[in-house]
Amino acid sequence: MSSRKPVIAGNWKMNTTPAEGRELAAAIAAGSKNHPGVEVIICPPFTGLAQAADAVSGSAVEVGAQNVSSEESGAFTGEVSVSMLAGLATHVIVGHSERRAMYCETDEAVAAKAVTAHATGLTPILCVGEDLETRKSGDAVAAVRGQLRASLDGYTGWGSLLVAYEPVWAIGTGAAASPQQAQEIVGELRQELSSLAGADAAEAIRILYGGSVNATNIGPFIDRPDVDGALVGGASLKPDEFLRIVEMTARLY
Ligand code: PGA
């Protein structure tokens, strides 16, 4: 726990039709208004951004996209640019491990997305995390620090950045990292940010944990000094569960 404002972000992944997303967003907006001490962000798929943004308008809930192109416009079939997100999203997830693993996104590509997003006023939610093999070989700290540094190459928007530590082996598996493991890596990430951005900027950046977070296990993560919230996948699709995560977080701050 820290003096930084906690963030609970929901990554809906490739789920929800626009109509389902509107309903989910409305339920989250209604339920989270009692917890103004927690910043709540929802990340619907592109096709549901407009409906979700409409459903949360007038509330404090913010909307993020799940990906963005680093290109401005042109012959990039299937891609979505930052200017297309204007008015729909304030945040964007970059470098999620599913994009890195399944769509071959390199650190360099992720850094280009983060830089472009920031340049147009979007706050990147930058994801980093080691795979199981790296964890087992004892190289997780060095790997994740390296990934963070490379994924922020050229980035200067330190006042507008969220980082999510998401160990690949904990995503969608039901086997979350231990709060100690999360704190260890998140603390290392803060040191890495300090060397990139300076100590004051690094102290202010919120770093989230992600990977099988639910309403039952959120508490001990939030209790850790460097963990400032969570990026939630599966549990973010269930409004009651997601709102309990928000409520637990509010209670601990
Ligand atoms: P999960 O996903 O909560 O379903 O493990 C987290 C994520 O991928 O952001």
Q: Which token pair is 246?
A: 């928000």
The reply to whether ligand 1 has any atom less than 6 angstroms from the CB of 11 is: yes
46 Cβ contact partners less than 8 Å away, ≥ 6 residues apart: 65, 66, 80
Orientation angle between helical segments 107-119 and 140-151, nearest 10 degrees: 40
96 noted as active-site residue: yes
Q: At residue 107, what are phi and psi to the nearest 5 degrees?
A: -55, -40
Number of domains in the chain: 1
pLDDT digits (tens, 9 = 90+) for 167-210: 999 999 999 999 999 999 999 999 999 999 999 999 999 999 99
43 assigned to some structural domain: yes
241 assigned to some structural domain: no
The pLDDT of residue 135: 98
Choosing from 62, 166, 188, 247, the catalytic residue is 166
Q: What is the CATH number of the domain that holds 224?
A: 3.20.20.70
Q: Domain range holding 58? A: 7-71+78-231
Strands (E), the chain: 7-11, 39-43, 62-65, 91-94, 123-128, 162-165, 206-210, 229-232
pLDDT < 70 positions in the chain = 1
236 assigned to some structural domain: no
The pLDDT of residue 3: 87
Best of 67, 102, 166, 208 to mutate for ligand 1, by most ligand atoms within 8 A of CB? 166
118 noted as active-site residue: no
26 Cβ contact partners less than 8 Å away, ≥ 6 residues apart: 55, 56
The pLDDT of residue 1: 67
What is the value of pTM for the model shown? 0.98
Choosing from 35, 96, 118, 130, the catalytic residue is 96
The reply to whether ligand 1 has any atom less than 6 angstroms from the CB of 168 is: no
Q: How many CB atoms lie within 10 A of CB 120?
A: 14
